[in-house]
Amino acid sequence: MWLAHDDGLRMLGVSTASGARFSVILNQWDAGADEQRVGDSVTAVAGQLSDGSAVIMVDLGRSATLYSVVNCYVVALTNAEGRPYLFDRGYAGTGDGAGCVVVDSKRVLVGYLAEYNSARNTYRVTRTTIDVDTGARRATNGRTIVLGTAVAEGSAVVKRAQSVTCGDNNEVSEPTS
């Protein structure tokens, strides 16, 4: 997986062991590109879910966009309304991070929300399973569970909830201009 700049456009690409290379222009259709601030760097992390889906999460700073790899194409997943599936990164109040975690012996995609309680200086952390359809083109929110109601700020649970990761897979960063 790689990130690149090409003629002023941000690109996300995949190179396979067979030598195939394919890519997509990032955020040509999504408001996340307009929300990026100067100095925000783009990173991406990929992983394979238990159902065989290959997913890529591109962290744009204010949101993370969800892609899949389908038949040698990088495909932007859509939500139930047919719009790009985005993970909020703490700016819209609907989420803080995303990840690939093992639940009931299966690797699944999840979104996190870490709500700060200023009176107690703790967080309430929830995790929502993200269901990817069999064609790996649509993602919908599944079951939400509470991971903790009085979680300390520096805890591993809060750190995970405020990041975009996929197991132990390393992220790639866009090149500096």
- C-alpha distance from residue 47 to each of 37, 78, 84, 150, 171 (Å): 27, 18, 19, 30, 10
Q: Tokens representing 161?
A: 């909830």
Residue 26 has pLDDT above 90, yes or no: no
Q: What is the mean pLDDT of residues 65-72?
A: 91
Residue 38 has pLDDT above 70, yes or no: no
In this prediction, residue 92 carries a pLDDT of 84
Q: What is the mean pLDDT of the chain?
A: 88
Q: What is the mean pLDDT of residues 101-127?
A: 95
Residue 86 contacts residue 32 (beta carbons within 8 Å): yes
In this prediction, residue 62 carries a pLDDT of 84
Residue 155 has pLDDT above 90, yes or no: yes
Tell which residue, 122, 115, 124, 120, has the closest CA to residue 147. Answer: 124
- Any residues with CB less than 8 A from the CB of 57 and at least 6 apart, and which? 44, 45, 46, 64, 65, 66, 67, 87, 98, 164, 166
Residue 96 contacts residue 90 (beta carbons within 8 Å): yes
pTM metric for this prediction: 0.89
**How many domains does the chain divide into?**
1
Residue 27 has pLDDT above 70, yes or no: no
Residue 28 has pLDDT above 70, yes or no: no
CA atoms within 13 Å, Cβ hemisphere of 77: 31
Q: What is the mean pLDDT of residues 63-73?
A: 90
CA atoms within 13 Å, Cβ hemisphere of 26: 30
Report the SS3 class of residue 102. strand
Q: What is the mean pLDDT of residues 150-162?
A: 95
Instruction: Look up the domain containing 145 and give its range.
Output: 2-173
- With cut-offs at 50, 70 and 90, classify the pLDDT of residue 149: very high
H helix runs in the chain, sequence order: 32-35, 156-161
Q: Are strands 2-6 and 9-15 parallel, antiparallel or unpaired?
A: antiparallel
